[in-house]
Structure 1
Amino acid sequence: MIALLILTALGMAATGLWMWRRSAWLARSESAIDRAIQRDRHAQGTAPVAIRRSLRQRITGMFEAIGNKFSKRSLGRHLVASEDIMLLNVIGHDNSSGRAIFLAIRLLLPLAAALPCLLLLQLQGPRRLALLLALFCMGLLMPKWILGAWAGRRRRKAGQELPLLVDLLRLLQGSGFSMDQSLQMVADRFRSVMPVLGRELQEANAFYSHGRSREQSLQHLRTAYENDSIRALVQLILQVHQHGGAVQEPLRQFGERLREQRLMEMKERAGKLSVKMTIVMMVTLLPALMAVLIGPAIISLQGTMSMLHSAH
């Protein structure tokens, strides 16, 4: 029963965060969805999609209203700390709506995790109190853990996409594109192969086209991912944007340095893996090997000892 409650809490947390992420994606893709609906107006299934979309919007709106109600209070400021805002910034939800939904999840999930214990389990005394506290704490901390894992995955993905971005910029610069045209081309044409950095560049281009400077538009990319290589690339882009000049050779050297860095990381990971496998082999194979090697000697010694004992 306890395992069932824990699985229920995990499922509710995953469902809440999935709905939050899904609603943000729908908000960013609303114009594309509207165009698709107009092209397929007479196709079957349009009404159920609209109903599901409306339901998700109502649920996320309810979460947002709950979060906004508590966001100005001390409880809300404690539940959405500065490190949580940094993680929300990494995943692209550092706005009033994202913070409100995250706060609502952190408020409701502990209650939802502890409620089945009150209704279903017939525990009494200290055991019931301990289980309630454990479920409440798990529900309170689980959104923070999932948010941290989500942000960490995006940071790793951005680091993996960076060498491809450098190569694309170098090729476009060699084809006669300016830096602004190269960034626009990468964001428009290559977002499917670089979902994280492509989205960042698309948002940066949108900010730049609405009047922000290039440095301001790339500020989120430079600070959110805590990656020195991304910061160095942004600094190189800003220098080229401000002062001009040939950038193919610096990009080539930068790409080679990234490949060498990734090669060193892979070698380090392989070295750590070999150490772990050595420990596994010692634990699993060494006892069997000792039994195979020493077993016949022990059997022979036992037979000799029994013969000597019978002779006496």
Structure 2
Amino acid sequence: MDYLLSLLDSVVGNPELARLLFVSAVGLSAVLALVTVGLLVVGLQSPLQRRLNVLKRGHASVGRAAPSSLQLMLEQVGERFAGNQDWHNSPTRTLLVHAGYRQPSAAQAYWAARLLLILVLVGIAVLVLPFLKGASFLQASLLLVGAAGVGWIVPAVYVDKRKQARMRSLRAAFPDALDLLVVCVESGLALPQSIERVAEELSVSHGELAEELALVNAEIRAGISSTEALRHLADRTGLEDINGLVSLLAQSIRFGTSVADTLRIYAEEFRDRRTQAAEEQAAKLGTKLIFPLIFCLWPSFFLVVIGPVIVGVLKAFGRL
């Protein structure tokens, strides 16, 4: 406490004014904290408000557990922080869907997590400041700003990493699903039944893609056309391969051509693209090995091969 007062006094230059500003800041922070906690507690403790929040966010689906108090609190904080924006068409919503968060309140929880993490890290930095003896006001400010920046960036980095990992998993599972889909369609099954069978077969080895295909089948059963359901699949996954498949199937269904032939042709083209991608990665291998060879292997090779020769030359000339 005294350390913070001394820092504020060094900036203001007036001890009384610094004390007044410090007391005002502490009082305002306490009032805001009490008001925030009070609003959250009232909203969470009221059964009517809890039920309305559950119904509003679409949690009352069959077979899904009720949200926890922490989840409702994050949603409320995120909703107050983010406002009434259209999250359905926002880039944040797209990022979260690609990362696997399809809940209606995912955007609110995401913003709430970023805000709360900032407050937690800034609070920890404030507690650490008295132990940093000799730190100037600029250094303390940089520490607080750095803590706030870390709290703002870490959730975004985590969601982006999760998105990349999920897209890699879906991309690795897509060839197997495509081959199984070709087999099912050529055996006489319709496209919805083929998608359902492929989802059942992939439920063990590739659970994420199986879940997406099961959702496609559920949309088709609900009355959505196969083309629209597959387009929704491409939007949820963000994979270009699925976008190409959706375009080909849409043309096949529109012009009445054979779906089996379309899938077989796309499977062959996909194998060719996968082979070309592997050849491209192999061609880049030689260039990527230049830096490890120069900075890791070449110095050791120089010491082993050229080192004894240099020592012999120095001995011959009487330097050693």
TM-score using structure 1 length: 0.72
CA contact (8 A) 2:77 2:108 kept: yes
Equivalent-residue separation in structure 2 for 1:28 and 1:276 (angstroms): 53
The corresponding residue for 1:255 is 267
Return closer, same or farther for 1:170/1:285 CA change in 2, 3 Å cut-off: same
Q: CA deviation at 1:112?
A: 1.0
Q: CA deviation at 1:169?
A: 1.0
The corresponding residue for 1:62 is 73
Q: CA deviation at 1:214?
A: 2.5
The structure number with the bigger radius of gyration is 2
Which residues in structure 2 correspond to 1:124-163 (within 5 Å)? Answer: 124=135, 125-163=137-175
Paired residues in the alignment total: 258
The corresponding residue for 2:37 is none
Equivalent-residue separation in structure 1 for 2:285 and 2:129 (angstroms): 44
Per the alignment, in what secondary structure is the counterpart of residue 296 of structure 2? helix
One-letter code aligned to 2:308: P
Q: Which residue of the other structure, out of 211, 215, 224, is the alignment partner of 2:223?
A: 211
Which residues in structure 2 correspond to 1:226-237 (within 5 Å)? Answer: 226-237=238-249
Q: CA deviation at 1:243?
A: 4.8
Return closer, same or farther for 1:141/1:295 CA change in 2, 3 Å cut-off: closer
One-letter code aligned to 1:109: L
- Could you list the runs of 4 or more consecutive aligned residues of structure 1 that deviate by over 6 angstroms after TM superposition? 27-30, 78-81
Q: Which residue of the other structure, out of 298, 308, 312, is the alignment partner of 1:300?
A: 312
CA contact (8 A) 2:99 2:160 kept: no
One-letter code aligned to 1:306: G
The corresponding residue for 1:96 is 104
CA contact (8 A) 2:249 2:262 kept: no
The corresponding residue for 2:40 is none
CA contact (8 A) 1:110 1:138 kept: yes
* Superposition CA RMSD, Å: 3.1
Equivalent-residue separation in structure 1 for 2:315 and 2:100 (angstroms): 74
Q: Larger RCO: Structure 1 or Structure 2 (Cα < 8 Å, ≥ 6 residues apart)?
A: 1
Q: How far does the alpha carbon of each residue in 1:27-60 deviate from its partner, in whole angstroms, 9 at most, with x for none?
A: 79973x8xxxxxxxxxxxxxxxxxxx88x72211
More displaced 10-residue stretch of structure 1: 239-248 or 258-267: 239-248
Q: How far does the alpha carbon of each residue in 1:188-226 deviate from its partner, in whole angstroms, 9 at most, with x for none?
A: 442333323322221122222222233332232223444
Per the alignment, in what secondary structure is the counterpart of residue 121 of structure 1? helix
| 5+ long unaligned stretches in structure 1 | 1-26, 34-52
Equivalent-residue separation in structure 2 for 1:259 and 1:202 (angstroms): 25
| 5+ long unaligned stretches in structure 2 | 1-58
The corresponding residue for 1:282 is 294
The corresponding residue for 2:22 is none
Equivalent-residue separation in structure 2 for 1:78 and 1:143 (angstroms): 21
Return closer, same or farther for 1:288/1:80 CA change in 2, 3 Å cut-off: farther
Q: How far does the alpha carbon of each residue in 1:157-206 deviate from its partner, in whole angstroms, 9 at most, with x for none?
A: 22222211211111101221011211122234423333233222211222
Equivalent-residue separation in structure 2 for 1:183 and 1:195 (angstroms): 14
CA contact (8 A) 1:191 1:198 kept: yes
Q: CA deviation at 1:87?
A: 0.6
Return closer, same or farther for 1:297/1:194 CA change in 2, 3 Å cut-off: closer
Which residues in structure 2 correspond to 1:1-312 (within 5 Å)? Answer: 31=63, 57-72=68-83, 82-122=90-130, 123=132, 124=135, 125-306=137-318
Q: How far does the alpha carbon of each residue in 1:116-170 deviate from its partner, in whole angstroms, 9 at most, with x for none?
A: 1111332342111101101101111211121112122222222222211211111
One-letter code aligned to 2:139: R
Return closer, same or farther for 1:209/1:217 CA change in 2, 3 Å cut-off: same
One-letter code aligned to 1:215: T
Equivalent-residue separation in structure 1 for 2:219 and 2:88 (angstroms): 27
CA contact (8 A) 2:177 2:202 kept: no
Instruction: Give the % identical residues.
Output: 27
One-letter code aligned to 1:161: A
Per the alignment, in what secondary structure is the counterpart of residue 306 of structure 1? coil
